[in-house]
Amino acid sequence: MIETVKVAELIKDVKSTVINWRRYLHQHPELSFQEEDTSQFVYETLKSFEDLEVTRLTRTSVVARLVGKQPGRVLAMRADMDALPIKEENDFDFVSKNPGVMHACGHDGHTAMLLGAAKVLSQLKDQLQGEVRFIFQHAEELPPGGAVEMVNAGVLEGVDQVIGLHLASPFETGKIGVGYGPVSANCDVFDIAIRGKGGHSSQPNTAIDPVTISAQVVNNLQHIVSRNIATREKVVISVTQIHGGSARNIIPQTVKLSGTVRSFEQEIRKEIPALMERIIKGITEAHGASYDFEYEFGYDSVVNDHRLTQKLEEMIEDVFGQEFISKLEPGKMMGSEDFSAFSKVVPGCFLLVTAGNEKEGIVYPHHHPRFTIDEEALEHGVKLLVHAPFKLNSHV
């Protein structure tokens, strides 16, 4: 068993460093697949800890292995590192120095927490069983995502279990969100082009108007969820972009629509493109127009492994106390995560670390220009990641 007092001290010691790392990363955000400086920073920081074997499997990701002195299993712990194309509107003194790019989802915090855990665990190597593999993943925000690339490059070779955390600003700091089964949705994307015949707005009879046809398509796509899919299933179809037209008095040639589809069941998911196409085809043909339809399957739903989640819940109860546990209702979270690329290969568990603080004004949702996190939550994440291998790596 580990000495709880010593571990608590090490976590306390690393707390301000983790906050500084997070602020440094927040100031220097980089977009998906472009995490050059971020990964270099992570690489150098990991190199400064003892006994870590640090490698780079892909251009902008970093992996570190810490092999304990005792035999045991291999636990992978993952943090994502990329930022978003958003212009930051916060006014604290560590705002983004990279115009138009912002850590608006908390990945700066994820990276800092995992670095903190690596630092603490490298000091506990003698007591550690098995191996901890620290995965600093690039490109979570941009499908096909960095996770699948790392899996293909062999990051999970020899790994028995994988865990990941996400900071969550909509909930007050002081909880760990634990969910069994599906904790994120399948997320797919589509593009539609409706091709009519342009003309003068005063003579619609000589044109084929893709604007009115598009309006019908958008409305009718909603019938899939309300009329074609069983009410117990959770599916969302959102048309989020409409582009077309150039002047008030011109009927355009083409209108383009795009959007996303979220679901949980793989069977239902597979049926959706055909249901959509039936509507698009029917409406456009009825009005003499034509269409292009492209549908791309994106990230799979993250499904937490029951046994692993149970063990982590026990651990959270021991280390944080029962009051820290917030049960997530399965199949209620419509967000998406490419952590599923890992958890499809080995048993995985994805947990939420709550990081909102209403009093401090930390209330903005993820991907908002004023998003930020309560930095107190970083310590909770570090604590969880430090204790996890001691709970999960023993063979018994």
Residue 291 is among the residues annotated as catalytic for this protein: no
Distance between CA atoms of 338 and 12, rounded to whole angstroms? Answer: 31
Q: Choose one: 91-99, 101-109, 261-269, 302-310; the region binding Ni ion (CB under 5 A).
A: 101-109
Distance between CA atoms of 6 and 66, rounded to whole angstroms? Answer: 19
Complex with Ni ion: residue 46 or 105, whichever CB lies closer: 105
At its nearest, how many Å lie between Ni ion and the CB of residue 78? Answer: 12
Q: Which one is catalytic: 140, 141, 265, 375?
A: 375
As to burial, measured by CB atoms within 10 angstroms (0-12 exposed, 13-18 middle, 19+ buried), residue 51 is middle
User: With CB under 5 A, what is the number of residues at the site for Ni ion?
Assistant: 1
Nearest-CB residue for Ni ion: 105
Q: Using H for helix, E for strand and C for coil, what is the string for 154-184? A: CCCCCCCEEEEEEEEEEEECCCEEEECEECC
At its nearest, how many Å lie between Ni ion and the CB of residue 205? Answer: 50
Distance between CA atoms of 9 and 385, rounded to whole angstroms? Answer: 15
At its nearest, how many Å lie between Ni ion and the CB of residue 175? Answer: 18
Complex with Ni ion: residue 105 or 229, whichever CB lies closer: 105
* Cβ-contact 114, 45 below 8 angstroms: no
Q: Choose one: 105-113, 130-138, 194-202, 219-227; the region binding Ni ion (CB under 5 A).
A: 105-113
At its nearest, how many Å lie between Ni ion and the CB of residue 110? Answer: 8
Q: Choose one: 53-61, 102-110, 299-307, 344-352; the region binding Ni ion (CB under 5 A).
A: 102-110
State the sign of the Cα–Cα–Cα–Cα dihedral 383, 385, 386, 391: positive
How many whole angstroms from its chain centre is CA 263?
A: 16
What is the SS3 assignment for 231? coil
For the chain, give the number of residues: 396
At its nearest, how many Å lie between Ni ion and the CB of residue 140? Answer: 6
Distance between CA atoms of 254 and 197, rounded to whole angstroms? Answer: 8
Complex with Ni ion: residue 244 or 298, whichever CB lies closer: 298
Complex with Ni ion: residue 11 or 84, whichever CB lies closer: 84
Complex with Ni ion: residue 131 or 374, whichever CB lies closer: 374
* Cβ-contact 133, 63 below 8 angstroms: yes
Please report whether residue 333 would count as binding Ni ion according to CB under 5 A: no
Q: Which one is catalytic: 172, 299, 313, 337?
A: 299
Q: Choose one: 100-108, 122-130, 149-157, 299-307; the region binding Ni ion (CB under 5 A).
A: 100-108
Distance between CA atoms of 240 and 228, rounded to whole angstroms? Answer: 21
At its nearest, how many Å lie between Ni ion and the CB of residue 286? Answer: 42
Distance between CA atoms of 42 and 146, rounded to whole angstroms? Answer: 16
Complex with Ni ion: residue 80 or 131, whichever CB lies closer: 80
Distance between CA atoms of 160 and 69, rounded to whole angstroms? Answer: 18
Please report whether residue 105 would count as binding Ni ion according to CB under 5 A: yes
Residue 299 is among the residues annotated as catalytic for this protein: yes
∠ CA 129-131-136, nearest 5°, is 140
Complex with Ni ion: residue 109 or 252, whichever CB lies closer: 109
Give the x-and-dash track for 60-99 against Ni ion (CB under 5 A). ----------------------------------------
Contacts of residue 242, defined as CB under 8 A and 6 or more positions apart, other chains included, come to: 214, 218, 255, 256, 257
Please report whether residue 377 would count as binding Ni ion according to CB under 5 A: no
At its nearest, how many Å lie between Ni ion and the CB of residue 182? Answer: 17
Cis peptide bond upstream of 144, omega within 30 = yes
* Chain residues in the site for Ni ion (CB under 5 A): 105
Positions marked active-site: 299, 375
